[in-house]
Chain A
Amino acid sequence: MAVTGVFMSAVADTHAQDHHHGPAKGFSRWLLTTNHKDIGTMYLIFSFAMFLLGGSMAMVIRAELFQPGLQIVQPEFFNQMTTMHGLIMVFGAVMPAFVGLANWMLPLMIGAPDMALPRMNNWSFWLLPCAFLILVSTLFMEGGGPNFGWTFYAPLSTTYGPPSTTFFIFAVHIMGISSIMGAINVIATILNLRAPGMTLMKMPLFVWTWLITAFLLIAVMPVLAGVVTMMLMDINFGTSFFDASGGGDPVLFQHVFWFFGHPEVYIMILPAFGAVSHIIPAFSRKPLFGYASMVYAVGAIALLSFVVWAHHMFTVGIPIVGQLFFMYATMLIAVPTGVKVFNWVATMFRGSLTFEAPMLFAVAFVILFTIGGFSGLMLAIAPADFQYHDTYFVVAHFHYVLVPGAIFGIFASAYFWLPKWTGHMYDETLAKTHFWLSFVGMNLAFFPMHFLGLAGMPRRIPDYALQFADFNMVSSVGAFMFGATQLLFLFIVVKCIRGGKEAAAKPWDGAEGLEWTVPSPAPYHTFSTPPEVK
């Protein structure tokens, strides 16, 4: 993007009247805002609220599974809980958290005054509460909410779904519109608003990973919209996309869904890769090892993510050639992912390491995400997957990439940048407590699931055979521990907002980047004049 540099110098003299005022008073500040920091804050708060809501559903699930037999909820409600837990965590907690981080940090990292399209940015955010209001309201409708699993396979969701499925479909549409507009904004910001001198290969990695994530979002969210539209038509207008008696195919649903769904899992992890690539160098007091290879690895992962979708469908009856292709393509992803893990470890090698909370979460991320990656490789082996498919092994796998992967990445980012957001240092002792309780709780909750799955316990059931009882009890204890610990995180953040040790502009001595050149807390408007990047 050599073009951008030319006009950048012209941005130097700035609208005085637009930039030297603070936030508006009262609630209208949040409702009408065009400020990337306000919008980022709203995304983060919304994401945490959804994290608690989806988490409380997980608590219901684990309470029911604490012992064999049915004791707390009916199977029908249990199914709604597993479905809503998945949907809320994916679309309500993880994705908005990363969009919130992007809103806060991208303009600060590239030296831009705001996001490229600030009003659309506000709309992207407010559509989310609207979508989740509709989604959660389905729980109270006749016939209950979605009960077909977060992947909403046809015909479970079409022929056999509850009447509220139509509302679920429109909620997904609204989330999709929000994500697409958010992603367009991110791309326009990164491609057009970088400070003079910041060439593409000088961009911080969080910016790089978000650029690629935004591309994935724009490419696959419309496909999700397409597949739910086909569902809508099958349910309400008599089409037969997913009905073989009319010449359609239920497997078609799975193909289209996973064409969205597989890039989606990278959408949830790539920004965490980016954030960790800032945090590990900062607390190793060394530059990131292999910057260029990190960029290429993210690009390779993103491209490969488009050609691996059917590894979710090995047991559904796809031709053997398809199984082989998708098996090998999936295994290829281990190569660029291995490059990234190697580079993070090499960054730490012989660094002067300290282990503040962001670093603890980042190191745990590297180790535990790698475990999730390895179980992914096991699942990628088509013949072995016939055994693992739809067991708790799959549940263990994706919780290992999402909890200590995506969510630890978010916690690491939150602690890393909280001083910049609030102007105060968080309570390090409490934060370390938060880390260790989360770490132990999360491993207790999810590690036994590997054994349960290999022994044959199916996923998405409210009751199970007696031989699974011990591991399930351990898992539930771990889940309660992890869940309760997140209230501590809420307390730490509130405490940090209300006060604490004053944070310097650059509170971490190894940190690098433009965001540390502005004061803490970051002023309401930053970089009215773009900085020069050498």
Chain B
Amino acid sequence: MAENQTYYVPEQSKWPIIATVGLGVTLYGVAAIMVNGKQGESTTGAWIMFMIGAIIMAYMLFGWFGNVIKESRAGLYSPQMDRSFRWGMSWFIFSEVMFFAAFFGALFYVRVFAVPWLGGEGDRGTSNMLWEGFQSSWPLVSNPNPEAYPGPKEVISAWGLPLINTILLVTSSFTVTVAHHALKAGNRAKTKLWLALTIALALVFVFVQGYEYMHAYQDLDLTLQSGIYGSTFFMLTGFHGAHVILGSLMLIIMLVRITKGHFTADNHFGFEAAAWYWHFVDVVWLGLFVFVYIL
């Protein structure tokens, strides 16, 4: 690597501008679907726009990451460049942590302040005059105004499917670590096996989560519209689920790349980045399990 100990500044690239157009078209399409749908207008054009944007984004992701992989395999990246990628991924994960912090903060605020105040407790208990007779409780199954927001019949117990999902996700964090150790030991077959196991656990998790959502919607009347419990429950678990899917995609791509022999025992940052992300998703779940399901 000695002759490559320089900072690689890439040539001009078409990917960022394609990514800009792709993201702009996708999100404009999504917004148009929502706005037109709400006003009872046709959403066909907006859907077409969204699809076009999504296709551009997919093309961009393949192209841009393909480019980076090619450069990495050509040995253009020095250890210093590698550190830039590590800083980049670390701070990206930190930004994700802060995104979840906003929703956890909202959950704590409504549980500790907003709902008790509406129920007449504490410093601002006078807000009880808005809906006299409203009793504060958590999980909140009876909302201050049940006509506007009919509450859920009951909420999901922590000790059924959520416990299974906790076991699945914690185990998958363990298996991905085993895969990482195998990769560092240069044992490709073992890496593939344990990584595949991780992905399988992830997919089962997503399936169980989907089943739990169906159960909530069909049997419990626990929906996005069922007041603040449903709002915080679905936004926290939903964004987490979306991150699990994204993390699984990363791991699947890593499995493909391992099969193609892209990684060596000491040069496999792509894999490590995906593993870091996976651990982050796991830690967020533990927070969810404690604060959304158990407490």
> Which A residues lie within 8 Å of B101 (CB)?
222-223, 226
A187-B71 Cα distance, complex, nearest whole Å: 23
Contacts of A191 in B (CB 8 A): 87
A218 near B91: Cβ-Cβ < 8 Å = yes
**Contacts of A220-245 to chain B: CB distance below 8 A:** 220-223, 225-227, 229-230, 232-233, 235-241, 243-245
Which of B111-119, B171-179, B211-219 contacts its partner? B111-119
**B44 on the interface (CB 8 Å rule)?**
no
- Encode contact with A along B93-130: 1 for CB under 8 Å, 0 otherwise: 01110110111011001100111001000111001001
Q: Does B235 contact A (CB under 8 A)?
A: yes
Tier of interface size on chain B: 35 or more
The reply to whether the CB of B31 lies closer than 8 angstroms to some CB of chain A is yes
Whether the pair A226, B102 counts as a contact (CB closer than 8 A) is yes
Contact across chains for B80 and A192 when beta carbons are under 8 A apart: yes
| A451 beta carbon closer than 8 Å to chain B | no
B233 CB to nearest chain A CB (Å): 10
Judge whether A22 is part of the interface by a CB distance below 8 angstroms. Answer: no
Q: Quick check: is B83 within 8 A (CB to CB) of the other chain?
A: yes
Compute how far the CA of A244 lies from the CA of B83 in the bound complex, rounded to whole angstroms. 48
Which stretch in B8-16, B160-168, B200-208, B284-292 binds the other chain?
B8-16
Contact yes or no, A245 B143, CB < 8 A: yes
The A158-204 residues at the B interface (CB cut-off 8 A) are: 163-164, 166-167, 169-170, 173-174, 177, 180, 183-185, 187-189, 191-193
- With the chains together, A189 CA to B83 CA distance in Å? 10
CB atoms of B27 and A173 under 8 A apart: yes
Task: Determine the distance from Cα of A19 to Cα of B115 in the docked complex, in whole angstroms.
Answer: 61
B105's nearest neighbour on chain A, judged by CB, is A256
Give the CA-CA distance A170 to B23 in the complex, in Å: 10
Cβ–Cβ < 8 Å partners of A317 in chain B:
124
Interface of B is mostly: helix
Query: Residue on A with the closest CB to B98?
Result: A222
Report the Cα distance A180→B19, complex, angstroms. Answer: 16
Q: Does A2 make an interface contact (CB < 8 A)?
A: no
CA–CA, A174 and B8, complex, Å? 28
A144 to B27, CA, bound (A): 19
A325 at the interface (CB under 8 A from B): no
Residues in A with CB closer than 8 Å to B9 are 15, 18-19, 34, 113-114, 118, 525
Judge if A32 is at the interface, Cβ distance under 8 Å. Answer: yes
A192 to B102, CA, bound (A): 30
Q: Is the CB of A13 within 8 A of B131?
A: no
Known: A248-B228, A249-B109. A180 touches B95 (CB 8 A): yes
Query: When A117-B88, A119-B15, A248-B231 are in contact, do A319 and B20 touch as well, CB less than 8 Å?
Result: no
Residues from chain A with Cβ under 8 Å of B99 in the complex: 222-223, 225-226
**Complex contact A218–B14 (CB within 8 A):** no
Q: Which residue of B lies closest to A24 (CB)?
A: B12
CB-CB < 8 A to B14: which residues of A?
32
For A185, give the chain B residue with the smallest CB separation.
Answer: B88
- Contact indicator B16/A187 (Cβ below 8 Å): no
Q: What is the bound-complex CA distance between A189 and B87, given in angstroms?
A: 9
Does A251 belong to the interface (CB within 8 Å)?
A: yes
In the complex, the chain A residue whose C-beta lies closest to that of B131 is A245
B159 within 8 A of A: no
- Whether A444 sits at the interface, judged by CB under 8 Å, is no
B259 within 8 Å of A (CB atoms): no
- Interface-centre pick from A112, A183, A239, A321 (highest chain B CB count, 10 A): A239
CA distance A120 to B20 in the complex (A): 11
The answer on a CB contact under 8 Å between B149 and A246 is yes
A192-B83 in contact (CB<8A):
yes
Is A7 part of the binding interface, using a Cβ–Cβ cutoff of 8 Å? yes
Size bracket, chain A contacts: 35 or more
With a CB–CB cut-off of 8 A, which chain B residues contact A324?
A: none
- State whether A119 and B143 are in contact (beta carbons under 8 Å apart), knowing that A187-B87, A247-B114, A256-B105 are contacts in the complex: no
Q: Which of B10, B87, B110 has the most CB of A within 10 A?
A: B87
A116 to B114, CA, bound (A): 44
Query: Is B185 at the interface (CB under 8 A from chain A)?
Result: no
CB distance from A116 to the nearest CB of B (A): 4
Greatest chain A CB density within 10 A among B17, B232, B235 is at B17
- Give CA–CA (A319, B112) in the complex, Å: 13
1/0 per residue B129-168: CB within 8 Å of A? 0110000000010011100110000000000000000000
Report how far A248 CA is from B73 CA in the complex, Å.
52
Indicate if A10 sits at the interface (CB-CB under 8 A).
yes
Could you tell me the distance between the alpha carbons of A169 and B27 in the complex, rounded to whole angstroms? 10
Cβ-defined contact, A223 with B39, below 8 A: no
Q: State in angstroms the CA–CA spacing of A28 and B152 once bound together.
A: 56
* Residues 29-48 (chain B) with a chain A CB within 8 angstroms: 30-31, 34-35, 38-39
Interface: B278 (CB within 8 A): no
- Kindly state the separation between the CA atoms of A243 and B234 in the bound complex, as whole angstroms: 16
For the complex formed, measure the closest distance between the CB of A343 and the CB atoms of chain B, giving whole angstroms: 30
Q: Is the pair A241, B231 in contact by a Cβ cutoff of 8 Å?
A: yes
Contacts of A240 in B (CB 8 A): 143, 149, 227-228, 231
**How far, in whole Å, are A202 and B113 apart by their CA atoms in the complex?**
46
Interface membership of B66, Cβ < 8 A:
no
**Interface: B264 (CB within 8 A):** no
Q: Tell me which residues across on chain A come within 8 A of B145, comparing CB atoms.
A: 245-246
B residues near A131, Cβ cutoff 8 Å: 24
Tell me how far the C-beta of B156 lies from the nearest C-beta in chain A, rounded to whole angstroms. 17
Set of chain A residues within 8 Å of B232, measured between Cβ atoms: 241
Find chain A residues with CB under 8 A from B113 CB: 249
Q: Please, what's the 1-or-0 string for A1-38, where 1 marks a CB less than 8 Å from any CB in chain B?
A: 00000011011011100110000100011011110000
Is A136 in the interface zone, CB < 8 Å from B? no
Q: Do A256 and B106 touch (CB < 8 A)?
A: yes
Cβ–Cβ < 8 Å partners of A227 in chain B: 102
> Residues of A contacting B140 with CB < 8 Å?
247
16 pairs of residues in contact across A and B, judged by CB atoms under 8 Å: A13-B6, A28-B12, A32-B17, A134-B24, A170-B28, A184-B88, A218-B91, A223-B102, A232-B34, A239-B230, A244-B114, A246-B231, A247-B118, A248-B228, A259-B102, A318-B124
Q: Give me the 8 closest cross-chain CB pairs, A-B, nearest first.
A: A226-B102, A245-B145, A247-B228, A123-B16, A10-B5, A246-B149, A239-B231, A222-B99
Task: Apart from A193-B80, A222-B99, list 5 A-B contacts with CB within 8 A.
Answer: A7-B78, A11-B5, A223-B99, A239-B225, A255-B105
